[in-house]
């Protein structure tokens, strides 16, 4: 059935950020975005970080598909990744229409996609993962596709590798797969957020500027030049994937923490071993590492774990019961005036006026570097996957609106 030219069809979803604890770094196929190793991430709560995306289509729209991100038009026609995602989704819709002539022919209508992040784009906070996950989920909802999140993860992977993990909540693995066509390289939920809901994350935002070396460029430099890379991908990561999945199933934070920190260190070691070397961490990042190790030493057990993606921002994992020891200590160092302490996860430390551990026992140089170098914090925790919402960024008549 032909779709009404006057009608504006639309669907809106939110999608979360995910932060990997076993890092994805390196592609075995750059076109299909197939990874050289499996990875595992924690999906973060959308009460703190999320992308909101409306997918709409209408015969009244311009002939070409359009994308608007954070109020700015994007050159969608030059983005092979975006076009690949849209093409796959459109093909799935056309298959439905071919099988049922009563369905409106949405696959023939141009798309207008509008997306907004509530965090800085390209700032080391996995904005592309949330963005592509939201795009794929929103268009899939618009097209009323029957594919599961696991099946849709194959499509999201073409946009941004890490995006496939943002299609699910909780603790999510992206399997590297073995097939040449990439059909077995997909994401799957290891455990839902409800399995280990006490997991918390404190993000220390060091910089909201764009990275000197974008992730795609950096990982291919590492693949081509690092002697350490193959050892990590072939031997180290498979063992760590097994171990961390066991730690998650057992809710064993000390094991989870050590594996997370060691994998972050190994990942950045391969970046440093690249030629020319790639530096994503800076002095503030290293101060955060020292702080975490000091807290664990002072407390006498492992209560905090750091991890760093391809950027300087620190993500510190801890359990809710240890909020005062970890987030409380960070709050005492950075001060309550540092932006970001409020929000959905603040109640636990709202009344904390003293550090959770004695700052006399913490590296004083690290304290001073963190005071000067952290621009804001984000308090969050493990959360759910994409959520269908009714707050649209495209009006009933097709105009772009702001949330």
* All residues at 6 or more sequence positions from 82 whose CB lies less than 8 Å from its CB, including other chains: 67, 74, 76, 132, 135, 159
Nearest CA to 126 among 221, 205, 47? Answer: 205
Encode pLDDT of 275-315 as tens digits: 999 999 999 999 999 999 999 999 999 999 999 999 999 99
- The chain-wide mean pLDDT, for the chain, equals 94
* All residues at 6 or more sequence positions from 157 whose CB lies less than 8 Å from its CB, including other chains: 32, 33, 34, 163, 164, 174, 182, 185, 186, 187
Mean pLDDT value across residues 214-221: 89
pLDDT for 122 equals 42
Rg for the chain, CA atoms, rounded: 22
Confidence of residue 261 (pLDDT cuts 50, 70, 90): very high
pLDDT for 210 equals 63
Residue with tokens 């849209």: 86
pLDDT for 211 equals 66
Residue with tokens 């050289």: 36
Mean pLDDT value across residues 80-107: 98
Mean pLDDT value across residues 50-60: 97
Nearest CA to 149 among 120, 211, 192? Answer: 192
Three-state secondary structure call for residue 148: coil
Going edge to edge, which strands form the sheet with 314-319? 305-307, 314-319, 199-205, 376-381
Question: Residue 276 corresponds to which tokens in the numbers above?
Answer: 């020319």
CA 326 to chain centre: 22
Q: Which domains does the chain have, with CATH numbers?
A: 9-196 (3.30.230.10), 199-381 (3.30.70.890)
Query: Of 34-38, 86-90, 344-348, which range is least confident?
Result: 344-348
For residues 291 and 340, give the distance between their C-alpha atoms in angstroms, rounded to a whole number.
19
Q: Is the pLDDT of residue 205 over 80?
A: yes
Confidence of residue 403 (pLDDT cuts 50, 70, 90): low
Encode pLDDT of 103-147 as tens digits: 999 999 999 999 999 876 544 566 789 999 999 999 999 999 999
Buried b / exposed e over 376-396, threshold 16 CB at 10 Å, is ebbbbbbbbbbbebeebbbee
pLDDT for 162 equals 95
- Element containing residue 30 per DSSP (H, E): none
Nearest CA to 285 among 339, 200, 205? Answer: 205
Confidence of residue 181 (pLDDT cuts 50, 70, 90): very high
Instruction: Please give the DSSP secondary-structure letter assigned to residue 8.
Output: -
Question: Residue 329 corresponds to which tokens in the numbers above?
Answer: 């200590």
């Amino acid at each position: 059935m032909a779709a009404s030219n006057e009608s504006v069809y639309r669907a809106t979803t939110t999608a979360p950020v995910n932060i990997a604890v076993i890092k994805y770094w390196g592609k075995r196929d750059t076109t299909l975005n197939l990874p050289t190793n499996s990875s595992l991430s924690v999906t973060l709560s959308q009460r703190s970080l999320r992308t909101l995306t409306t997918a709409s289509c209408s015969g009244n729209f311009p002939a070409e598909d359009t994308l608007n991100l954070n109020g700015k038009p994007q050159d969608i026609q030059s983005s092979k990744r975006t076009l690949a995602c849209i093409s796959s989704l459109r093909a799935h819709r056309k298959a439905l229409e071919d099988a049922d002539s009563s369905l409106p022919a949405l696959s023939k209508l141009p798309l207008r996609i509008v997306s907004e992040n509530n965090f800085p784009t390209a700032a080391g906070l996995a904005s592309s993962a949330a963005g592509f996950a939201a795009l794929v989920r929103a268009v899939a909802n618009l097209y009323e596709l029957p594919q599961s999140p696991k099946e849709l993860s194959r499509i999201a992977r073409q946009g941004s590798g890490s995006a496939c993990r943002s299609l699910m909540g909780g603790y999510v693995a992206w399997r590297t797969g073995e097939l040449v066509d990439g059909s077995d390289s997909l994401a799957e939920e290891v455990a839902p957020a409800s399995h280990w809901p006490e997991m918390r994350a404190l993000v220390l935002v060091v910089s909201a500027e764009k990275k000197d070396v974008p992730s795609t460029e950096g990982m291919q430099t590492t693949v081509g030049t690092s002697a350490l890379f193959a050892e990590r991908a072939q031997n180290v990561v498979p063992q760590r994937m097994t171990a961390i999945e066991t730690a998650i199933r057992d809710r064993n934070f000390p094991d989870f923490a050590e594996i997370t920190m060691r994998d972050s260190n190994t990942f950045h070691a391969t970046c440093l071993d690249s030629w020319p070397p790639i530096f994503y961490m800076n002095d503030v990042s290293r101060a955060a590492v020292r702080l975490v190790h000091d807290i664990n030493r002072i407390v006498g057990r492992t209560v905090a774990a750091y991890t760093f993606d391809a950027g300087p921002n620190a993500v510190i994992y801890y359990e809710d019961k240890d909020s005062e020891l970890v987030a409380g200590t960070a709050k005492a160092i950075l001060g309550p005036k540092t932006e970001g302490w409020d929000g959905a996860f603040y109640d636990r430390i709202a009344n904390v006026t003293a550090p959770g551990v004695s700052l006399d026992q913490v590296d004083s140089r690290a304290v001073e570097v963190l005071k000067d170098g952290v621009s804001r914090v984000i308090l969050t925790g493990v959360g759910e996957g994409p959520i269908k919402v009714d707050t649209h960024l495209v009006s009933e008549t097709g105009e772009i609106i702001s949330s």
